[in-house]
Amino acid sequence: MSDFVSASELNDLLNADAPVRVIDVRWRLDRPEAGHDDYLTGHIPGAVFAALDTELATHGDPSEGRHPLPSTATLQAAARRWGVRAGDTVVAYDDFTGISAARAWWLLRQGGVDVRVLDGGIRGWQAEGFEVATDDVVPEPGDVVLDEIGGDALSIDETAAFPQSGVLIDARAADRYRGESEPYDPVAGHIPGARNLPESVHFDAAGRILDRETILASFAEIGVTPGTPVAAYCGSGVTAAHTALVLHEVGIDARVFPGSWSQWSNTPGRPVATGDQPG
């Protein structure tokens, strides 16, 4: 079963009153509050806004990264606020390829929830001509009980050692990987041994995921094939979850370093590589 659902498939599920809870995970790093504003401008009817910074992450010291994992209790409370009940399917979306929605997918899947991502996001929904709503949905609280999360997360020390036994993917843009620019963190470059594959290569101009063969070919270029131990990181652990989602869609399980470059670059003594080579 696909990790993605099309706009027409979701519309059919909603019209059939299937046990589906839709969450809107629109988010911007530069303006975290903008996601809720966009939600109120227009969202899928019945969708509940999910706050990435406070419900899908927590806050900590810079040495923990920008988006440390929430506790299981925090995520469970959020899921219940979204109205998720035992046995529900959750469909998460954002405004394009599913980068922030994938953070919800990664966490909820660890918690034992049946979760999907809307292919093409809200833009894909509107492109099909489906209606949007502007209310701030407050559903009846759910009763879902989550399994413990965090088992798919790599620590900073595990990440440092990972290239010795598998492929560590840096999912950021190529210029950040090479160390030519760094708009958010104190040091530019990448984790030694990591290979660069920006998440954008997996999607078309409409933000929809490409076919399986094309995706597998992209991963094969950096040494990832079915059976390869693989992990991903990015700037702060959001885009890396998106890479894990794409890998899972083509049958490859991946772990995520949630601290990502924001934790690595804020931890004294960690080595840094630059240029096109893994280092």
Chain mean pLDDT for the chain? 96
Domain ranges of the chain: 4-127, 156-264
> What is the rounded distance in angstroms from the CA atom of residue 62 to the CA atom of residue 267?
8
Take residue 48 and report the two structure tokens written for it: 């509940």
* Residue type for position 185: D
- The larger pLDDT score, comparing residue 33 to residue 118, is at 118
Identified catalytic residue from 234, 244, 245, 252: 234
- Does residue 34 register a pLDDT over 90? no
pLDDT digits (tens, 9 = 90+) for 3-28: 999 999 999 999 999 999 999 999 98
Helix 99-110 and helix 72-81: axis angle, to 10°?
110
Q: Indicate the pTM of the whole model.
A: 0.96
In which band, very low, low, confident or very high, does the pLDDT at 1 lie, cut at 50, 70 and 90?
A: confident
- Does residue 46 register a pLDDT over 80? yes
Single out the residue of 116, 125, 115, 90 nearest to residue 8, CA to CA: 125
Q: Diameter of the chain by CA atoms? A: 56
- Does residue 118 register a pLDDT over 90? yes
pLDDT digits (tens, 9 = 90+) for 149-186: 999 999 999 999 999 999 999 999 999 999 999 999 99
- Tell me whether domains 4-127 and 156-264 share a fold: yes
pLDDT reported for residue 266: 96
- Does residue 96 register a pLDDT over 90? no
Single out the residue of 195, 267, 264 nearest to residue 231, CA to CA: 195
Mean pLDDT calculated for residue range 184-203: 96
For the chain, give the percent of residues with pLDDT over 70.
100
- The larger pLDDT score, comparing residue 66 to residue 96, is at 66
pLDDT reported for residue 31: 79
| Least confident interval from 54-63, 126-135, 212-221 | 54-63
- Long-range Cβ pairs for the range 266-269 (8 Å, 24+): 266/62, 266/63, 266/65, 266/185, 266/186, 267/63, 267/156
What's the CATH number for 156-264? 3.40.250.10
Complete DSSP assignment for 78-125: HHHHTT--TTPEEEEE-SSS-HHHHHHHHHHHHTT-EEEEETTHHHHH
The yes-or-no answer on residue 234 being catalytic is yes
pLDDT digits (tens, 9 = 90+) for 207-222: 999 999 999 999 999 9
- The larger pLDDT score, comparing residue 227 to residue 32, is at 227
- Does residue 97 register a pLDDT over 90? no
pLDDT reported for residue 253: 97
Mention the CATH class of domain 4-127: alpha beta
